[in-house]
Amino acid sequence: MGTPEKIRDAALELFSGRWFETVSVAEICRAAGVSNGVFYRYYRSKEELVRALVDEFLSVFESEVTGIDGATVAERMLHLCTAVFNAGVHHTPMVTLFREAQYRFPEYEERLRNVYRRSCREVFGRAVSEAEYLYAISGLRFNSTRAI
């Protein structure tokens, strides 16, 4: 595993257990087994690292909840629900980090909404209204975080 990956893995573990503000670059470096100076070769700041992790999560999540198949709306909705739930189970630290980041950096919440809206379009075969989106996704989002 390369140095950037060590830093990212250490940061993800720390951020998934504690708030962003309570984790220092020095702690991340200690956990990764690198010096503080090495951190700054790869990231300008702790915020840049968090953003890189959240970008990675959103890419992974989007790939897992798109391409929904099924002959009926019910089958496609079941596949979407399963994909979202599995993402919560298989990417628990990332989901935990995202939950804080979506409030700290509101543009990430908007990106996630867009992913879900595209998924709804696949499920229903058409664009959905805001009310339909909220009805279909709100409980799903809540349950996926409860899975962790």
Q: What is the pLDDT of residue 1?
A: 82
53 CB-side CA count, 13 A:
34
Token couple for 46: 């702790």
Q: Are 72 and 33 in contact (CB under 8 A)?
A: no
Nearest to 116 by CA among 74, 69, 73, 81: 81
Mean pLDDT, consecutive 10-residue stretches, the chain (148 aa), reads 94 92 96 96 96 95 91 95 89 89 90 93 93 84 59
pLDDT of the residue at 143 = 63
pLDDT value at residue 146: 52
Domain covering 1-43 assigned CATH 3.40.220.10 in the classification: no
Cα–Cα dist 83/6, whole Å:
28
DSSP 3-state of 123: helix
The pLDDT value given to residue 40: 97
pLDDT at 145: 56
* CA 8, chain centre distance (Å): 14
How far is Cα 87 from Cα 67, in angstroms, rounded to an integer? 15
Domain limits, the chain: 1-43, 52-146
Give me the pLDDT at residue 135, please: 86
pLDDT at 76: 95
Contact 24, 45 (CB under 8 A): no
> pLDDT value at position 37?
94
